[in-house]
Amino acid sequence: MVRNEQSRVARWANMPLLSVVALLVLYGSVMVQSATSGMGSGDALFRRHLIGLAIGLVPLAAAWLIDYRGFKGWLGPLVLLNALLIISPRIPGLGDTAKGATSWLQVGGFRLFQPSEPAKLVTILIMAIVIAQFKGRLDSPRDVAKVMGFLALPLGLILLQPDLGTGLVFVAITLGMLLIGGMQPRWFLVIALVGVIGIGVVLQADLLETYQKNRLLVFVDPSLDPKGAGYNLAQSKIAIGSGGLKGQGLGSGTQGNLNFLPERHTDFIFSVVGEELGFAGAVVLLGLYLVLLITALEIAAQSHDLFGSLIAAGLISMWTFQILENVGMSVGLMPITGIPLPFMSFGSSFMVTNLAGVGMLLSVWSRRKGA
């Protein structure tokens, strides 16, 4: 019986995935420790980071144990849950506002978590259920419109918070899943066109908050405001560039330690990696992400059914976009949005969500063909 259990775990567990996630989490912890060491409450922050990690192991295990296929019949409840998650910060007495976005859930002044984080996973499940219904053939305008309709609800609510970055994550997730779900290439062109027009309308119609517009304008020309909105970007680039090939050494980055680098344990953790560990450290990190994503892709390909593949594709899309956005903004390739770096950044809701996502991948892997 014990033997049987062990072999079952061995067959269920995807060792490359678990290893690379463990390495990423370890790497992230070292960097968070380094980034927070110079702060007044640095030790407390680092402890919170480790607690977030520990908490995250629970949903990871739970998601792994639960058979993902059971979610197929839960479309209605999941849509309701998603709406509830996203609306909850807006409920008086429950929401809390930070940096212009009402994205925290709080009870009695104590911040619990950001509901938009688990909402990403719920959205992946919803989309997987909807897209899987088309059995890999998604071509008629009606079908595309149906999928988009399911995206519209969470996206619209997120943009109302307003949280542009998280909204874009939802779009990226959906696009990646539509690709695997069999949508014809021309539809991507149509969506891109609609997107561009949409952005134009948003900019013209003054729907963006001033700080969001500033971020976009500064992305185009950082010298517009070197001490204001452009400051973060400029300081981040200086930190990464000055790391050179081998970096300043762990804990020795002047940009970070002397507080030139803002949000360095959260959104700009990659800048600390770049400054302290240099190109070498950055490439090691990108390498780890490559292993993570290829492994996830392998899991998608090995899935028992299209539903599992779609879930894996959703996670791959989510992580890929977040890496692109976070590292991209740190090096000035992308506009600045508050997207953290998966498995690296400080932030419990985010960490727990990503670890739960790993659990979902393992759930798909455990039920693969021949498992």
Residues of the shown chain interacting with another protein in the complex, contacts defined by CB under 8 A: 135-136, 176, 179-180, 182, 235, 237-245, 254-255, 258-260, 274, 278-279, 282-283, 286, 289-290, 293-294, 297, 300-301, 305-306, 309, 313, 316-317, 320, 323-324, 327-328, 331, 333
The neighbour count for residue 99, using CB atoms within 10 Å, is 10
DSSP 98-156: ETTEEEEEEETTEEEE-THHHHHHHHHHHHHHHHHTTTT-B-SHHHHHHHHHHHHHHHH
* Euclidean distance between CA atoms 170 and 179, whole angstroms: 14
Complex with another protein: residue 153 or 171, whichever CB lies closer: 171
Q: Which is nearer to another protein, 54 or 301 (CB)?
A: 301
DSSP 97: E
**C-alpha 65: how far from its chain's center?**
23
Give residue 370's identity as a one-letter amino acid code: G
CB of 264 to another protein, least distance (A): 11
Q: Which is nearer to another protein, 4 or 223 (CB)?
A: 223
Closest to another protein by CB, 253 or 347: 253
Q: How far is the CB of 338 from another protein (least distance, A)?
A: 19
- Measured from the CB atom, is 77 or 287 closer to another protein? 287
How is 19-55 classified by DSSP, letter by letter?
A: HHHHHHHHHHHHHHHHHHTTSTTHHHHHHHHHHHHHH
We find the least distance from the C-beta atom of residue 200 to another protein, in angstroms, to be 25
Q: What are the percentages of helix, strand and coil residues in the chain, rounded to 5?
A: 70, 5, 25
> Least CB distance from residue 345 to another protein, whole Å?
16
Q: Which helix (H) or strand (E) holds 280?
A: helix 269-302
By beta-carbon proximity to another protein, the closer residue of 21 and 157 is 21
In the complex, the smallest distance separating the C-beta of residue 371 from another protein, rounded to whole angstroms, is 15
**Paired strand residues for 124:** none
* CB-count exposure of residue 102 (10 Å: 0-12, 13-18, 19+): middle
DSSP letter string, 316-337: HHHHHHHHHHHHHHHTTSS---
Q: Which residue, 87 or 324, is less far from another protein as judged by CB?
A: 324
d(CA 2, CA 7): 9
Measured from the CB atom, is 151 or 172 closer to another protein?
A: 172
Distance CA 266, CA 123 (A): 24
Min separation Cβ 1 and another protein, Å: 33
Tokens of 308: 């599992």
**3-state DSSP assignment of residue 246:** coil
* Residue 303 CB, nearest approach to another protein (Å): 8
**Of 204 and 223, which has the nearer Cβ to another protein?**
223
CB of 180 to another protein, least distance (A): 5
**205, two tokens:** 């119609």
Residue 211 or 231: the one with the smaller Cβ distance to another protein is 231
Tell me how far, at minimum, the Cβ of 247 lies from another protein, in Å: 9
In the complex, minimum distance from the CB of residue 85 to another protein, in angstroms, rounded to a whole number = 27
Closest residue by Cα to residue 103 from 121, 115, 111, 91: 115
